[in-house]
């Protein structure tokens, strides 16, 4: 049996959370390193890569969010103009 299907937005959010944990862990490890400059340099390069990945993930999530359209209003309906609130150029026009 498989679990629920993960949406692209949920996947992006999960991956960002995981990358934030990696970034924090790497930052902690760097703070504890002492003495070996070569090891420290490699650890800093890895942190830079994790940070770049996190930046890309956040941009991807932002694109996913922006492609979803307007946020839902309080009653669960999309915030779209009703007949009363349509701009005048559309007043009285019907699809047909």
Q: Is residue 85 a part of any domain in this protein?
A: no
Domains in the chain, number:
1
Q: Beta-carbon neighbour count of residue 80 at 10 Å?
A: 10
Convert the pLDDT of each residue in 19-45 to its tens digit: 999 999 999 999 988 778 999 999 999
- pTM for the full model? 0.63
Q: Is residue 12 a part of any domain in this protein?
A: yes
Q: Is residue 75 a part of any domain in this protein?
A: no
Gap between the Cα atoms of 19 and 54, Å rounded: 6
Q: Is residue 32 a part of any domain in this protein?
A: yes
Residues of the domain holding 16: 8-69
Decide if 30 contacts 43 (C-beta within 8 A).
yes
Q: What is the pLDDT of residue 73?
A: 54
Q: Is residue 82 a part of any domain in this protein?
A: no
Residues in the chain where the model's pLDDT stays below 70: 1-2, 70-96
State the sign of the Cα–Cα–Cα–Cα dihedral 40, 34, 18, 16: negative
Q: Is residue 93 a part of any domain in this protein?
A: no
């Amino acid at each position: 049996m498989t679990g629920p299907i993960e949406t692209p937005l949920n996947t992006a959010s999960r991956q960002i959370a995981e990358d934030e944990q990696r970034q924090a862990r790497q930052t902690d490890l760097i703070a504890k390193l002492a003495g070996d400059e070569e090891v420290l340099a490699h650890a800093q390069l890895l942190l830079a890569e994790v940070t770049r990945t996190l930046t890309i993930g956040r941009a991807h999530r932002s694109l996913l969010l922006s492609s979803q359209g307007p946020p839902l209003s309080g009653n669960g309906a999309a915030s779209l103009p009703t007949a009363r609130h349509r701009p005048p150029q559309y007043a009285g026009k019907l699809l047909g």
